[in-house]
Structure 1
Amino acid sequence: MTRSGDDEVDLLIDAWSTILPDVDLSPLDVMSRLRRVARDLQRVREAAFSAAGLRAWEFDILSLLRRSPDGFSMTPSQLASWTTATSGTITYRIERLEERGYLVRTDNPADQRSRIVTLLPAGSERVESAMRVLVAAEADLLDGLTWNQVASLIESLRTIGASAERDARR
């Protein structure tokens, strides 16, 4: 049954309800919406990073360094583990960001086989600018919600995330 204001997920649920009338499709209703929102959010994020002159992977690395408890510095191995990128990919990305003047690599005094990657002021300014653009773009997406709705959504997503993480470890 098509209703005024039905979206793509409503139509999907209606079709499957006819095929499988004995199945509660509410999990599909929620997760299909989350998947679509995640896809759209990725586009919003990429546009926000682009407006700030960065790609998503550049933002990720600069953001990790900016938030680092060790004074804007990490090893390439630490960056790789946080971004789940391979060491070769991290090396390439660090080189590109160093060429842009956003970070610098120096010898690691604690380990002769490793380097230290340190965020430079230009990188700090760029990632902070990108974060401001990102937060404004994401705030626009939440504009139609009350603070209580946002708080409820945060808590619900936290619960779903914890459940998904538990399932992934099994």
Structure 2
Amino acid sequence: MGEARRAYGVPDCEATWDSVDYLLADWARERPDLDFSPLAVINRMGQVRRKFEQHMAEVFSRHGLTAADFLVVVNLRRAGRPYRLPQSRLMNALGLTSGTVSLRLDRLVKAGIVVREPDPDDRRGSLIRLSDDGLRLFDVIAPEHLSNEDRLLSALSGEERETLAGLLRHLLVSLEPPRPAPDSHLGMSVESAHAARSLRSAVGLSDTAGLLLSAVEAGSPAAAAGLQRGDLIVEVGGAPVHNVGGLAATLAGLGEGEAVELAVLRGDEPHRVVVRQTSA
């Protein structure tokens, strides 16, 4: 038999609770009129991240680095030989301001881990290169860091890790800037489910999960099917669709002449359209 559950999926057996279960149980008692279900995911993600960062910081500190320092080393190493990047590109990869990345690089230059070199393509810029010592340091830390990460995931089986990674991919894709994928979308550009809900609510439409069409390319299979900018795709092939990855995978799998039915809301009026893959 399955384990009994309270509100928000909190188990009946308190011995199995985590810290978030206590929060959810309190709020279910104190404010049953509010929906605290997002907290079950978002608060746990934050708690897990903090615990992971604490354990990972221990590995880096043994080598005189911070996690932020190691990110610089990682980005230079994955760039490939000669393990060098323009400082501006490194700044963007790390999501830092110019001043912050300069301070971090100053510390690593002083430690002999990276080297600043003139950028022949930018007289005001610099190239940041991983030194030989920095490369050896990466080779020492990376196996230790990856083993540590593997231990941190010990509570999950291989299959559970794969499932969690897939769910997190769907969530992250919905939050990152969209990447062009015209072939898999058959002439459609879509907004993520969370953006779609915000945009529809802002104009007084139903707060419905789905993917909002932001553009339909003229002459494309999407246009031929009658899809329009502003349509909300809520089902693909009879299954609810909440993430771009699921839509792209389904559409990319269509062979020439094959079709799939989409359920859409135009405003709040339901429609069903058939999108057919055509030859280029």
RMSD between superposed Cα atoms in Å: 2.2
Larger Rg: 2
Q: 1:95 Cα shift?
A: 2.0
Report if aligned partners of 1:106, 1:117 keep a CA contact under 8 Å in 2.
Answer: yes
Match for residue 27 of structure 2 among 1, 9, 16: 16
Q: 1:162 Cα shift?
A: 2.1
Matches within 5 A, 1:147-158: 147-158=158-169
Report if aligned partners of 1:54, 1:130 keep a CA contact under 8 Å in 2.
Answer: no
One-letter amino acid matched to 1:82:
A
One-letter amino acid matched to 1:134:
H
Match for residue 65 of structure 2 among 44, 54, 57: 54
Deviations 1:34-82 (A, max 9, x none): 1110111111121121123311121011111111146311111111111
Counterpart in the other structure of 2:116: 105
1:75 and 2:86 aligned: yes
Q: 1:144 Cα shift?
A: 2.5
5+ residue gaps, structure 2, are: 1-11, 177-191, 199-280
Distance (Å, rounded) in 1 between the aligned partners of 2:105 and 2:40: 41
Give the secondary structure class of the aligned counterpart of 1:107: strand
Higher relative helix content: 1
Deviates more, 1:159-168 or 1:50-59: 159-168
5+ residue gaps, structure 1, are: none
Deviations 1:87-125 (A, max 9, x none): 122222222211111121121122222221111111012
Distance (Å, rounded) in 1 between the aligned partners of 2:30 and 2:69: 46
For these two proteins, the number of residue pairs brought into alignment is 169
Give the secondary structure class of the aligned counterpart of 1:116: strand
Distance (Å, rounded) in 1 between the aligned partners of 2:24 and 2:95: 35
Higher relative strand content: 2
Give the secondary structure class of the aligned counterpart of 1:113: strand
Report if aligned partners of 1:49, 1:133 keep a CA contact under 8 Å in 2.
Answer: no
Give the secondary structure class of the aligned counterpart of 1:71: coil
